[in-house]
Structure formats: structure tokens, C-alpha cells
Amino acid sequence: MKLNTLLRLKLAHLFFGMMFWYGIEQLFLNKYLGTASARAYLTMVYAATVLLFDIPGGILADKIGRKRTVLISCVVEILSVVILGMSTNLWQYLVGSILFGVFISLINGAAEALLYDKLKADGHAKQYAKQQGQINAYFLVGAAIANLLSGFIAQHANLRLPYFLSAIPGVIAFLLLARIVEAPREKAADHWYSHLNEAGRYILKRPLILIFGLQFVIGEVVFLTIGEFGQIYLLQFHISAVTLGILWSLVALAAALGRVLAHRGQQYPRTVILAYCVAIASFIVTKSAWGILLFMLVYGLTEALGNIAETEVQHASESRIRATLFSCVSFGGNFIGVPAVFLYNRIYTHHSLAAANHALGIIVIGLLLLTALASTQHLSRRAVAEAIPAPLDKHY
């Protein structure tokens, strides 16, 4: 059966999401690494890796092609899960985490640019928010399936097997992506520094990229803190490996739902931000098991917010620098994320996880409300501009 590019991208992301170790990672860390701060170390190293390789990954995608870059990322991802599963100490696990960060850096920006250029070439660029949301939903559904099974695999086999099994979906994703057809793109600058300089100047000239880029960054920080420590939060309710896998599966489904519905909020970004702030505020003050449901809500709304912000950035980008520009935005998320994780972990280890969530939640709510106010004037100007016919490649 012949599959089109869009369907291949969706199916590949479904298999990318089937990382069977997601749902039981904290149990693996507790058993084999035995370091109280292991989660913080791993998250900071992962974020630092993406910080270092995100922009080079975007430049690589613009230079050698999006397809080649995502194929390279598949190979790196397969290697990373094998090393993670074989780890017997923190240092070995850190190597696997670094490679997983390189995988994310390579595919981050490249896959999004591949999709946007394909839709634009077909005259369907306005469908990006919907299609990108669906692609991410496929990834999260894959994660939900893997998370659900991971607890059973860990309980009836061992905690290493889920890692090794995760290499199989990576191979399938590689085979799917090997047959995709990449849309033509504009030629990138000959020198990487000229290319990066062009992307930087492009961002500074477009306020909406800065505003929505900051919203994307805030969402990434939430994922690196509240999200990454989420299994620790769930385990405080004294649940089993199977229950952890089930709950983490439901978290992934909530995130998938956020992605699928995100395009409906594309015209109402400030409403989404307000709902997000209310959800975080409710989560950080809830001390009972009802907080689990609020955690899922926050996770889903974070995905929705990220989809909306990412779409605005893509609409404002040009083909020749699309992957690099989005990688610059992602770079910002990890640049802020590394110290954020460090401070979050300090509060967690010296006080409590609830105190860490409380402090971060207040900061996130404040920053998001500021971006909502800042976007008001620019969004109004864009609405007026869109009512006037403009050249095809002119944005804002």
C-alpha cells in the first residue's frame, strides 16, 4: 500500500512515541541508580544537550534536508534506548540521555519544517495547526500505549526490557520516513554563521515570534520541571508499577487531546492562556489525589499552548530558515530550562515537591499573563493586515 508523506509522518510519530521506558523510568532510576537527585541531573543534562545541539540540528536540516536529518535522528534514538537499558550507574545513563537529547535536537525543527513546507507546496499552509496537532497526538497516543504496557512488562519481566523493546518502534519509524517525499525548499545561506545571523535578525524584526516564542519557552520549562518530576509526584500516592504505567498513559492521552483540540483555540490564544493559568493555580494548591487529574489537565493544556505558539512561529517564518528559526525558539526553552530545573530541584530537595510546584507555578502564571497582554496590540494589527490582500509570502 502506498502511503503519502503526511500519513507516513503521523505513523512515524506514533512509533516514536512507543518508548516503553517512559512510564517506568522513575522506578528504573530508584532501583539501579539510587541517587535522590538523579531525576534533576538527567533532566539538566538532557536540557543542556538539546541546548547545545538544537540550533546546529536546525541548521543541518536547512542545509542537507529535513528528510536526511530525521533519518539520522532515528539512528541516534535507537542507539540511545539501548544504552539507557544497559546502564548500571548514573554515568552510563547520562550517556544515553545525552544521545536521546541529540535525537530530539535533530528531529525538533526538521520534522515541523518538513510538514509546513509540504503543506505550503500543496497550498494547505493554513492547515498546519491542525495537522501538526494531529502528528503530535499520534506521538502521544503511541506514548500512551507504551506507558500502559510498560508497567505490566516491568512487573512481569524486569525494568530493563522496556528500554530494549523501544528500539523496535524506532526501526519501524526509520523505514516509514525513508520513503517520504520532501517538498522543494529555498536554498539556505552558504555559511552556517550567515544562516544563523539571518534567522536571528528575522526573529528580532517580528514581535509576534518573540511573544509566541516566549510562550513556547514557558511551556517547555513546565515540561522540564512539573512534567519531568511528574512520576515522582504520582509515586507519592504509593502506587504500583502497573498503576504508574496506567496513570502515565492517561497523562499522554490528555496531552494528545490537547494537541488535537489546539487548532480550535488558534484564534483565541489569550483564552487558552487564561484557562492554562487557572489550571496551574488549581494544581499547585491541591494536596489530595484530585491533583492527579489537575496534573493531567495542565499537561494537556501545555501541549495545546505549545501547538498554538509553534503554529504562529511557523506562519511567520520563511522556508530557507524555517528549521533553524524554530530551533532558536526551542534553544530558548532549554537555555532557561537548565537553571529552572536546578532551582526547582533545590526547592524540592530542601523543602518539598509541592513547594517547588508552587514557586514555579506562580512564575509561569505571571509570565504568561504578561505575554497575553503584550500580544494584544500585535494580534489586532495582524487581524487588520489579514483583511487586506497581500503577496503570498508576506507575513504580518
Contact 66, 342 (CB under 8 A): no
For 187, counting Cβ atoms within 10 Å of its Cβ (0-12 exposed, 13-18 middle, 19+ buried), the class is: exposed
pLDDT at 202: 67
Residue whose cell numbers read 512507543? 18
* Whole-model pTM over 0.75: no
Q: Does residue 159 register a pLDDT over 60? A: yes
Top pLDDT among 143 and 333 is at 143
Residue whose cell numbers read 501547538? 307
pLDDT in tens, 243-299: 888 888 888 888 888 888 887 877 777 888 888 999 999 999 998 889 999 999 999
Grid coordinates standing for 3?
502511503
Contact 187, 319 (CB under 8 A): no
Q: Does residue 8 register a pLDDT over 50? A: yes
Q: Does residue 385 register a pLDDT over 90? A: no
What domains can you pick out in the chain, each with its CATH number?
Answer: 8-192+206-386 (1.20.1250.20)
- In the chain, what are the helix, strand and coil shares in percent, each to the nearest 5? 80, 0, 20
pLDDT at 71: 93
pLDDT in tens, 167-178: 999 999 999 998
How many C-beta atoms lie closer than 10 Å to residue 385's C-beta?
A: 12
CA angle 185, 309, 282 (to 5 degrees): 155
pLDDT in tens, 70-119: 899 999 999 999 999 998 888 899 999 999 989 988 887 788 878 877 88
What average pLDDT does the chain have? 80
Grid coordinates standing for 125?
499552509
Give the residue-averaged pLDDT of 373-389. 52
